């Protein structure tokens, strides 16, 4: 980790890293549990809103068995401005950036509802009343009738 | 104009037949929307315009710089989704640094310690074992295969009505020489039990939703009796280099002829199953209609008409071909011969023939095929063409594979936006030479 940090500090001016510690919990019936072990690190991202900063971190210049590329750059596409935007921002960003939402064609509310329900099925931890807000925002701001 | 085109478009009440043909670049009527050269913002709007399929070869998004990669077209930054620009497909082999990237889950390895990483064989084996990277290099015979890796949703932005998902152009594919060990050699060391029905694969990448939910683990399974298992390899090299991290370092599954959703990256667990895998990624996601061209009518779908579905792994990748040059980014000159060139491939076997049309599919002529690099590889093709007079032309290419499969002339549709293989067209303007 210190290797990554040193390199990152050296390369980036604006910086945040999302840490994902490897935790292997109990198994479930559908998904077998992973072996408790530390293979490496995953899920490290760093802010690069300019798209101009070369995100590569020099790989560890040593003969060790660790193969590393440093943090991945975030170049997030903002959501369209709208009411309850921050709710969508915070809940949806738990698992993915908003880029993927902003880069969809303007679907009908029905299609968006289906997508949000699919996210819940995938395991998104979003309370039902928030789901309603999210669908509402997408209908108003990312649908055919929207006026952006 | 081909009659098939016309009959199909009458299914779409939303947009007139003529309108559709224009959007699809299949008519020689001039169209305002596609004649002008787009500025960035306008191109982007057009790419995401709900009222038409995207007319562009690749998606219209800014480039992103990612580790070990040239600037590639960014469809998403977390999880990482990158598309390969058109120019790279002039080559038979897609360079590693230009190879597309598609992840479902955002905890993508940033570093892997090979002293700790193992390939685990678990489940319904007589002899569950694990192998280190060194084991794979030294204890098994290395084998190589040239094979196309193509995302199931490649060309999704061609679908009309549009469907949600990564709005790919044609750049969610690549061709590489993959080197590694045979899957069967590894399975034989662990000795599958007789009652094994499927082999399950899981990589080291994972998602932030709770363990046990689909968005925590991306898992795919292949049938034990699928003949492709004999040709499947666990690849540690790509174009004779270590795998880039974003393409699955240190080891990935290579399932020749099948869509890339099965080509598990960062492969860490192989499990023998004694019952069918019912996880989300097999049972719910990546399913396609069991019809011809895996296509259903959008109107029927809207009405809730049910149709039988199969996992996309039940089929091979349908035959496709692409025009790479000329790319429509400049005018050609009347009476000056040019080389039209492109690629073709099929998951069902070798490309037998690629045809070229310069009049929107009315007349076809055979092209010259390039070097045969193996039946799962891209096959280059080219033909010399001289536009006889100034004006607008619709170029098209159509491939046939050794099994006699060819590409449909009409658009297909399914709710997932999978398996697109309709004939691609390229609109070209030719200017006067004096």
- The answer to whether A123 contacts B216, with C-beta atoms less than 8 Å apart, is yes
Q: How confident is the model at residue A51 (pLDDT cuts 50, 70, 90)?
A: low
* B61 vs A contacts (CB less than 8 Å): 103
Distance of CA B286 to the CA centre of its chain: 13
B279 interfacial to chain A (CB closer than 8 Å): yes
Residues of chain B with pLDDT under 50: 1-23, 25-37
Q: What is the pLDDT of residue B125?
A: 98
Sorted by sequence, the CB contacts under 8 Å of residue B96 that are 6+ apart come out as B68, B176, B238, B239, B241, B243, B244, B247
Which chain A residue is nearest to residue B216, measuring alpha carbons?
Answer: A123
Distance CA A67, CA B373 (A): 32
* A55 vs B contacts (CB less than 8 Å): 65-67
CB atoms near residue B198 (< 10 Å): 21
CA distance A83 to chain B (A): 23
Query: CA separation (Å) from B294 to A2, A60, A107, B150, B170?
Result: 51, 47, 23, 17, 18
* A54 vs B contacts (CB less than 8 Å): 65
Q: What is the pLDDT of residue B23?
A: 47
What pTM does this model have? 0.89
Sorted by sequence, the CB contacts under 8 Å of residue A74 that are 6+ apart come out as A45, A46, A47, A48, A49, A97, B77, B78
Q: Which of A39, A76, A124 sits opposite B117 (nearest CB)?
A: A39
* B76 vs A contacts (CB less than 8 Å): 96-97, 99-100, 103
CA distance B194 to chain A (A): 21
Q: What is the pLDDT of residue B44?
A: 83
B166 burial type by CB count under 10 A (0-12 exposed, 13-18 middle, 19+ buried): buried
Task: Supply B302's token pair.
Answer: 């809207």
State the average pLDDT over residues A56-64: 78
B194 and B271 Cβ atoms separated by less than 8 Å: no
Closest CA to B209 of B197, B218, B201: B218
Which chain B residue is nearest to residue A45, measuring alpha carbons?
Answer: B78
CB atoms near residue A83 (< 10 Å): 11
B90 and B57 Cβ atoms separated by less than 8 Å: no
Mutate to test the interface with B, among A5, A25, A31 (most CBs of B within 10 A): A31
Alpha carbon dihedral B76, B77, B79, B83, in 10-degree steps, equals 50
* B216 vs A contacts (CB less than 8 Å): 31, 123
* A73 vs B contacts (CB less than 8 Å): 64-66, 77
Distance CA B101, CA B172 (A): 8
The answer, yes or no, to whether residue A34 has pLDDT greater than 80, is no
B78 interfacial to chain A (CB closer than 8 Å): yes
Q: What is the pLDDT of residue B51?
A: 87
Q: What is the pLDDT of residue B45?
A: 86
Q: What is the pLDDT of residue A49?
A: 59
Q: What is the pLDDT of residues A120-143, one digit of tens each?
A: 999 999 999 999 999 999 999 999
Q: What is the pLDDT of residue A63?
A: 95
* A57 vs B contacts (CB less than 8 Å): 67
CB pairs under 8 A between A and B: 196
Q: How confident is the model at residue A59 (pLDDT cuts 50, 70, 90)?
A: confident
Cα angle for residues A146, A147, A148 (degrees, 5° grid): 105
Q: What are phi and psi of B365, to 5 degrees?
A: -135, 150
Distance CA B324, CA B336 (A): 19
Residues present in chain A in total: 148
The answer, yes or no, to whether residue A26 has pLDDT greater than 50, is no
Q: Which of A57, A66, A122 sits opposite B215 (nearest CB)?
A: A122
Q: Which of B66, B76, B215 sits opposite A73 (nearest CB)?
A: B66
List all residues of chain B from 41 to 60 with a beta carbon under 8 Å from chain A. Answer: 48-50, 59
Q: What is the pLDDT of residue B230?
A: 98
Q: What are phi and psi of A26, to 5 degrees?
A: -70, 155
A13 burial type by CB count under 10 A (0-12 exposed, 13-18 middle, 19+ buried): exposed
Q: How confident is the model at residue A148 (pLDDT cuts 50, 70, 90)?
A: very low
Percent of chain A with pLDDT over 70: 66
Task: Supply B244's token pair.
Answer: 């880039």
Task: Supply A124's token pair.
Answer: 């998104």
The answer, yes or no, to whether residue A28 has pLDDT greater than 50, is no
Distance CA B176, CA B378 (A): 9
B229 and B198 Cβ atoms separated by less than 8 Å: no
Query: CA separation (Å) from B136 to B96, B185, B265?
Result: 22, 10, 16
- The answer to whether B110 contacts A68, with C-beta atoms less than 8 Å apart, is yes
Q: What is the pLDDT of residue A38?
A: 80
Which chain A residue is nearest to residue B157, measuring alpha carbons?
Answer: A105
Which chain B residue is nearest to residue A70, measuring alpha carbons?
Answer: B110
Enumerate helices (H) and strands (E) in chain A, giving the number of each: 5, 4
The answer, yes or no, to whether residue A104 has pLDDT greater than 60, is yes
B167 and B58 Cβ atoms separated by less than 8 Å: no
Can the peptide bond before residue A35 be classed as cis, meaning omega within 30 degrees of 0? no
- The answer to whether B113 contacts A38, with C-beta atoms less than 8 Å apart, is yes
CA distance B49 to chain A (A): 6
Q: How confident is the model at residue A35 (pLDDT cuts 50, 70, 90)?
A: very low
Distance CA A61, CA A73 (A): 21
DSSP lists the bridge partners of residue B430 as B332, B391
Q: Tokens 């908003």: give the residue.
A: A98
């Amino acid at each position: 980790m210190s290797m990554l940090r040193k390199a990152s500090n050296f390369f980036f001016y604006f910086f945040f890293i999302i840490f994902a510690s490897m935790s292997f919990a109990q198994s479930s019936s559908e998904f077998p549990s992973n072996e408790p072990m530390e293979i490496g690190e995953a899920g490290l991202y760093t802010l690069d809103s300019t798209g101009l900063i070369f995100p590569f971190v020099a790989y560890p210049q040593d003969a060790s068995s660790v193969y590393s590329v440093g943090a991945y750059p975030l170049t997030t596409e903002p959501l369209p401005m709208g009411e309850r935007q921050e709710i969508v921002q915070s809940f949806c960003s738990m698992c993915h950036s908003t880029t993927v939402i902003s880069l969809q064609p303007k679907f009908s509310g029905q299609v968006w509802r289906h997508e949000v329900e699919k996210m819940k099925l995938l395991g998104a931890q979003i309370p039902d009343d928030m789901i309603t807000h999210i669908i509402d925002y997408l209908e108003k701001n990312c649908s055919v009738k929207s006026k952006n | 104009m081909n009659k098939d085109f016309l009959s199909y478009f009458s299914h779409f009440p939303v947009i007139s037949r003529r309108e559709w043909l224009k959007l699809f670049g299949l008519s020689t009527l001039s169209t305002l929307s596609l004649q002008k050269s787009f500025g960035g913002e306008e191109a982007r709007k057009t790419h995401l315009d709900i009222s038409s399929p995207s007319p562009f070869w690749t998606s219209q998004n800014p480039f992103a710089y990612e580790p070990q990669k040239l600037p590639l077209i960014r469809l998403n930054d977390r999880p990482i989704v990158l598309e390969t620009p058109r120019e790279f497909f002039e080559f038979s082999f897609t360079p590693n640094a230009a190879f597309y990237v598609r992840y479902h889950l955002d905890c993508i390895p940033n570093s892997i310690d090979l002293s700790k990483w193992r390939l685990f064989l678990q489940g319904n084996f007589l002899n569950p074992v694990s192998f280190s990277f060194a084991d794979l290099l030294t204890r098994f015979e290395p084998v190589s295969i040239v094979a196309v890796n193509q995302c199931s949703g490649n060309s999704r932005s061609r679908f009309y009505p549009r469907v949600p998902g990564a709005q790919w152009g044609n750049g969610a594919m690549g061709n590489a020489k993959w080197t590694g060990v045979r899957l069967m050699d590894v399975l034989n060391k662990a000795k599958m039990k007789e009652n094994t029905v499927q082999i399950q694969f899981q990589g080291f990448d994972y998602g932030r939703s709770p363990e046990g939910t689909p968005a925590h683990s991306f898992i795919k399974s292949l049938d034990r009796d699928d003949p492709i298992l004999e040709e499947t390899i666990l690849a540690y090299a790509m174009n004779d280099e270590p795998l880039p991290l974003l393409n699955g370092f240190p080891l990935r599954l290579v399932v020749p002829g099948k869509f890339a959703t099965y080509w598990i990256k960062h492969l860490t667990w192989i499990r023998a199953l004694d019952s069918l895998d019912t996880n989300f990624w097999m049972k719910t996601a990546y399913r396609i209609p069991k019809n011809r061209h895996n296509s259903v009518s959008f109107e029927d779908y809207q009405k809730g008409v049910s149709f039988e579905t199969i996992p996309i792994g039940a089929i091979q990748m349908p035959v496709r071909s692409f025009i790479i040059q000329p790319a429509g980014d400049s005018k050609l000159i009347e009476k000056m011969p040019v080389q039209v060139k492109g690629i073709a491939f099929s998951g069902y076997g070798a490309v037998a023939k690629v045809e070229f049309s310069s009049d929107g599919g009315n007349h076809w002529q055979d092209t010259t095929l390039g070097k045969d690099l193996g039946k799962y590889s891209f096959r280059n093709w080219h033909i010399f063409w001289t536009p006889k007079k100034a004006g607008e032309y619709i170029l098209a290419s159509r491939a046939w594979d050794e099994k006699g499969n060819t590409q449909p002339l009409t658009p297909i549709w399914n709710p997932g936006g999978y398996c697109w293989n309709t004939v691609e067209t390229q609109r070209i303007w030719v200017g006067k030479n004096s």
